[in-house]
Chain A
Amino acid sequence: MSLFNFFRRGSAPIARERLQILLAHERNAGGHPDLLGVLREEIIAVIGRHVSIEPDKVQIKMDRGKTVSTLAVDIEIPNRDHVSGGVPPFSPLTFDAGRDVLGMRGSGI
């Protein structure tokens, strides 16, 4: 056994931790199957009612943690002035001005 291996804890504790987190979510404790998934669908539907969303301009990140999970919905909403003004909506100029970021952080789910 090398010195490196001696100081490394081994991968089993990582496997154990990953499984515990995953299964806590998959067991749907609290009777709320896939709350993050439901939130994601509804949030996008609500925003979609007011502005037209291009599906490929939506970025969704979920991180299922042990005690806290996060859902980040990042939607690019083109600024109307820039769009109607004929400037390409995703040129570097409009990127800063015309982009709103909706972030969401949910805890305890």
Chain B
Amino acid sequence: MAKVLVVTSGKGGVGKTTSTAALGAALAHDGTKVVVIDFDVGLRNLDLVMGAERRVVFDLINVINGVAKLSQALIRDKRLESLHLLPASQTRDKDALTEDGVAKVIDELRTKFDWIICDSPAGIERGATLAMRYADAAIIVTNPEVSSVRDSDRIIGLLDSKTVRAERGERVDKHLLITRYSSSRAARGEMLSIDDVLEILSTPLLGIIPESQEVLCASNVGSPVTLNNPLSAPARAYFDAARRLKGEQVSMLVPSETRGIFNRLFARKAA
């Protein structure tokens, strides 16, 4: 049974696209069929983060308009053959995204894939509302920072009112993914703690992704962090989150910065 997952946040720059790519690859690792869809019409980036930017021929709007078939627009990942990408249009107006059109594409994808992951654009405009419209479950990506938490709260309200499931009186399963977390800064009282964020948003926690240089390294080379360096701290946290999505019980570890004494001495000075 296919599951439609939206990765959303309200605020931009918190890690929706990074998380979509990382979780998509982590879920597809065992041969599970996964498609990631970019809903950010006009500002697509999922193709770039996945390293498929030079292979984009058709896009989501071409499929909606009937210019291309779904099979022509889907791009198969070169590293994981069960992972596919449906890119957004870079040039077209976002009004070309229609509710019926998106419904048709998602229905067709449901017959072909196990997981359909919709990478939402920032904001609460059309692209964002359509990305969440048909979702069975949602991942709310949040940084431990006031503006991100506020916007997440707003998005949670939309998930509970503007989705097809909500309108039918059903529930969209909501999961909180806290990214760019620094346990040392939280311990010093400089950053909202995991408990603070969970208490404010009262949404179950899917994972804690530590602040890490590995995330930028992975996007630099166009590879999801879970493929680029699977043993790194953020990749391990994404793998754990993917297992929780599949229903496994995985104990939640608060990732701590594992730095040698040498690094610690110099990091202090630099900060």
* Contacts from A to B (Cβ < 8 Å): 1, 5, 8-13, 15-16, 18-20, 22-23, 26-27
Contact = CB atoms under 8 A, between A and B. Distances in A.
Contact of B189 (A12, A18, A19, A23): A12
29 contacts: A1-B188, A8-B189, A9-B189, A10-B190, A12-B186, A12-B190, A12-B192, A12-B193, A13-B189, A15-B145, A15-B192, A15-B196, A16-B192, A16-B196, A16-B200, A18-B146, A19-B149, A19-B150, A19-B192, A19-B200, A20-B200, A22-B150, A23-B150, A23-B153, A23-B200, A26-B150, A26-B153, A26-B154, A27-B153
B2 interface: no
A16 B146 CA distance: 8
B124 interface: no
Nearest to B145: A15
B191 interface: yes
Contacts of A18: 146
Q: List the 10 closest A-B pairs by CB distance, nearest first.
A: A10-B189, A16-B196, A12-B189, A15-B146, A23-B153, A10-B190, A12-B192, A19-B200, A15-B192, A19-B149
Nearest to B146: A15
A39 to B, nearest CB: 24
Tell me what chain A mostly uses at the interface: helix, strand, loop, or mixed: helix
Interface string B173-194: 0000000000000101111110
B189 A11 contact: yes
B157 interface: yes
B2 to A, nearest CB: 33
A27 B156 CA distance: 10
Nearest to B157: A27
Given A9-B189, A11-B189, 15 more contacts: A10-B189, A12-B186, A12-B190, A16-B192, A16-B196, A16-B200, A18-B146, A19-B192, A20-B200, A23-B150, A23-B153, A23-B200, A26-B153, A27-B153, A27-B157
Interface string B74-112: 000000000000000000000000000000000000000
A12 B146 contact: no
Contacts of B149: 19
B178 to A, nearest CB: 14
A26 B146 CA distance: 14
Contacts of B157: 27
A41 B87 CA distance: 47
Nearest to B200: A19
Nearest to A13: B189
B74 to A, nearest CB: 39
Contacts of A1: 188
Contacts of A11: 189-190
A5 B192 CA distance: 17
Interface string B140-179: 0000011001100110010000000000000000000000
